[in-house]
Structure 1
């Protein structure tokens, strides 16, 4: 799921001559051959067969998988240069673009969303927000650089990554069982570098536990069937204790004095001076809630309820669960947060970030994807541009930097 999802740059490949390519291929294959991997594969084949995987399924899955994928190892060892501040995390995920797409998809899929809600009790806006966060409403599935063979990716981790050997092995066995079940064929069993799959980015063991055939075609196809993918996400939330008809949390105003950590009844938080920003009363004063301030006391504050912690079963991150909840509320017609994230610059909207990335690429500072998300690679490109322009190095995706780019 989201914990393992990743979006690197698109890359293109060009060869100058078909003849030279045909001559070089045998040499390249020979140079890339890994006898150790072949030995591991033979041993793992026996392990898989003991776990109920047929020889036919294994051989079909591993056809053409003759070496580890170095790209997977690079992604596994990647350490971001920037530790994303709260404003960057939320700005990249809660955008006008995402809200509009979510509302459009809601209208398009309303009959399916109604059926899924009736079956699971999960608010459709939450599912749309998860879909946005996990795969940008499926757009990531068209990126062949990101979506690779789940079998090869997990085999790479199981064979060549000591830190993820256990994870890679267990997920690879689960992936082989998915293939053997007939829910998907080997050519479409694709996922992220760590095996997160489909519209809602489930790792294989989670897929096994929660996958749903919502459209009734006999397959639990989270890669090609949006109803199956959204129903699968809903099933995970339902099975982990989702409370139907209840929200995930409330934006609140907090007093200046120190507040206790941990969970209290909402009525107890009220006695301590915590109030809803809307001025409305809390509907269930006996609900247990925990105070969260993702950007510190200077930023938005929330009382988080049970459903917030259920969302964390999808991705064990406070920021992730808060972003899902906030985005879901806005897809459902709710207003933006009353208190904005603290950021030391003037924010760009989605289209302006696209323009920023495009201009940085045109000037040779950026080789990443034009996606409207100002992550670490975009910020590094901004720093390079600022250095070349002789201005203060900040690396912020700001209106000031965009204006400077427009002038040059």
Structure 2
């Protein structure tokens, strides 16, 4: 589906939201998509529940959860290898409660993520992978520049993937979420089981399957 200029939101004033000197409609579209994606993410984040007091010890949870994982297709040996000696991530509760979406005014949050520098980096990053983006667009019917906007917002075109403060083994983080957070139990359990299934497919293990504390992985999370 092609986005027409008439369907785009009116540009905000200031370089932080709508970079001046953006002559390409495609890159104007990317800027608009970034704003829409951030706004949607903010609305979803407002529904994120807080942690509740765990009803069982972490070791008991790991032991008892095996039956549920096996019922979902995880091999028992894979489960035990992935969870043997696992401890909860002590940083996850604080990360859940201190997300920028909760602590930063919306337009300030958007301004730090949609700016001329990020769009310039996106032009360079997509230019180096144009054939890949074009192929994905043709195969799945998604505008390559929408994918580029998501890429920039999620991992700053892959830059954050090398940040050890942000990227961590997700099996530990997801197990912590399932154990302690009750408001999204089904979603957290599905993510935890999904991570175990990825390990089962190989060649990743619990130390090399890394991502955000919430379990997001890869360049587009």
TM-score by length of 2: 0.69
User: Structure 1: 5+ residue runs without aligned partners?
Assistant: 7-34, 202-408
Alignment of 1:222-237 (within 5 A): none
1:129 correspondence with 2:149: yes
Aligned to 2:77: 56
SS in 2 for 1:70: coil
C-alpha displacement of 1:77:
2.5
Q: What does the per-residue CA deviation read over 1:332-370, in whole Å, with 9 as the maximum and x for residues that have no partner?
A: xxxxxxxxxxxxxxxxxxxxxxxxxxxxxxxxxxxxxxx
The alignment of Structure 1 onto Structure 2 pairs a total of residues equal to: 170
For 2:131 and 2:198, the matched residues in 1 are separated by 28
C-alpha displacement of 1:195:
0.9
Match 1:72 to one of 92, 97, 105: 92
Q: What does the per-residue CA deviation read over 1:43-74, in whole Å, with 9 as the maximum and x for residues that have no partner?
A: 11122112221122112211341x21120111
1:194 correspondence with 2:214: yes
Q: Which has the larger radius of gyration?
A: 1
SS in 1 for 2:78: helix
Alignment of 1:167-316 (within 5 A): 167-182=187-202, 184-201=204-221
Contact between 1:48 and 1:173, CA under 8 Å: does it hold in 2?
Answer: yes
User: Structure 2: 5+ residue runs without aligned partners?
Assistant: 1-36, 46-55
Distance change (3 Å), C-alpha of 1:64 and 1:141: farther
TM-score by length of 1: 0.39
C-alpha displacement of 1:103:
0.9
Q: Which has the higher contact order (CA 8 A, sep 6+)?
A: 2
Q: What does the per-residue CA deviation read over 1:146-175, in whole Å, with 9 as the maximum and x for residues that have no partner?
A: 111111111101112222333321211111
Match 2:133 to one of 105, 108, 113: 113
Once superposed, what is the RMSD of the aligned Cα atoms?
A: 2.5
1:47 correspondence with 2:68: yes
Match 2:177 to one of 152, 157, 160: 157
Distance change (3 Å), C-alpha of 1:99 and 1:79: closer
For 2:203 and 2:142, the matched residues in 1 are separated by 24
SS in 2 for 1:187: coil
For 2:159 and 2:194, the matched residues in 1 are separated by 25
Match 1:93 to one of 107, 113, 120: 113
Aligned to 2:57: 36
Distance change (3 Å), C-alpha of 1:130 and 1:183: farther
Match 2:168 to one of 130, 148, 172: 148
Aligned to 1:269: none
SS in 2 for 1:140: helix
Aligned to 1:104: 124
Distance change (3 Å), C-alpha of 1:118 and 1:79: closer
